[in-house]
Amino acid sequence: MKRHALAFAIAASLLTLTSFSKAETIYLTSLDWPPYSGAELSSQGASVAVAKAAFEAMGHTLVVEFYPWSRAVNMATNNDKYLGYFPEYLYDSDEFLFSNPMGVGPLGFVENATKPIAWNNMSDITAFSIGVVQGYVNTEDLDAMIADGSIKAQAVTSDAQNVLKVAAGHIDMAVIDSNVLDYLLKNDPQVSATADKVRMNDKLLVDKELFMAFKNNANGQKWLDVFNEGLTKIDVEAIMAQHM
């Protein structure tokens, strides 16, 4: 009996060690983009909370390191420490593999409250100056029209800068996620001071799905599969709502 008990204890210990050896810590980059991501936010933001929960559901630990957006993408591309970056909109890429959707954000325009703009098609906004954030993917149609010069776009480094430019009348509208605008109006002192001068345009561009972008290699594919399975084990909408 003692031999059987000892054998069982050894087997249990080996099983425990094996399961611990399979648990890994992985690193991804992100940006300060509240309420979705940010080093100072509760749980580091809604998208980070989803990502960590998905990996934890699969027995792994996620560490997110924050950089300005262009650098976050560059580090994810060129630094072997990182598996990829998020949150991102879906776009054609040879460098990255995209996960299943990990949330959704309503993308539209912030406009001057005294000069609301009515539009139905993208061609209707060619007469207006549009603000974008450098390095952000917007919509395929909008980005194509900016690229060919049909739409006059001005790029800045943050959503907050665009809101201030709209409030001051320097541009007509700027692309922004409505949840981001709500957060800035409540929490950024400079933007809050413009609360009576700006508003979301009545028409959204799209409810834009959010994704995780993994390096396009064997290791990226491995962790993409792990993350996607983890997403099936959690309530993404509930976690997003909790952190908005």
Give the model confidence (pLDDT) of 174-195 as tens digits: 999 999 999 999 999 999 999 9
Tell me if 175 sits within 8 A of 134, measured CB to CB: no
Flag whether pLDDT at 8 surpasses 90: no
Please state the rounded mean pLDDT for residues 55-61: 98
Q: How confident is the model at residue 22 (pLDDT cuts 50, 70, 90)?
A: confident
Q: Report residue 116 as tokens.
A: 């609301």
Q: Look at residue 16 in the predicted model and tell me its pLDDT.
A: 44
Flag whether pLDDT at 20 surpasses 50: no
Q: How far apart are CA 82 and CA 64, in angstroms?
A: 9
Please state the rounded mean pLDDT for residues 114-137: 95
Q: Which CATH number fits domain 22-103+210-242: 3.40.190.10, 3.40.50.720, 3.40.50.11720, 3.50.50.60?
A: 3.40.190.10
Q: Give the CATH fold of the 105-207 domain.
A: D-Maltodextrin-Binding Protein; domain 2 (3.40.190)
Q: Which residue has the higher pLDDT, 6 or 113?
A: 113
How many residues can be counted in the chain?
244
Q: Look at residue 18 in the predicted model and tell me its pLDDT.
A: 39
Q: Please report, for the chain, the start and end positions of each structural domain, with discontinuous segments joined by +.
A: 22-103+210-242, 105-207
61: left (phi over 0), alpha (psi -120 to 50) or beta: beta
Calculate the alpha carbon distances from 68 to 17, 33, 71, 74, 177 in Å: 39, 10, 5, 10, 18
Intrachain domains 22-103+210-242 and 105-207 with the same fold: yes
Give the model confidence (pLDDT) of 83-116 as tens digits: 999 999 999 999 999 999 999 999 999 999 999 9
Q: Look at residue 108 in the predicted model and tell me its pLDDT.
A: 97
Give the model confidence (pLDDT) of 39-49 as tens digits: 999 999 999 99
* Cα Rg of the chain, angstroms: 22
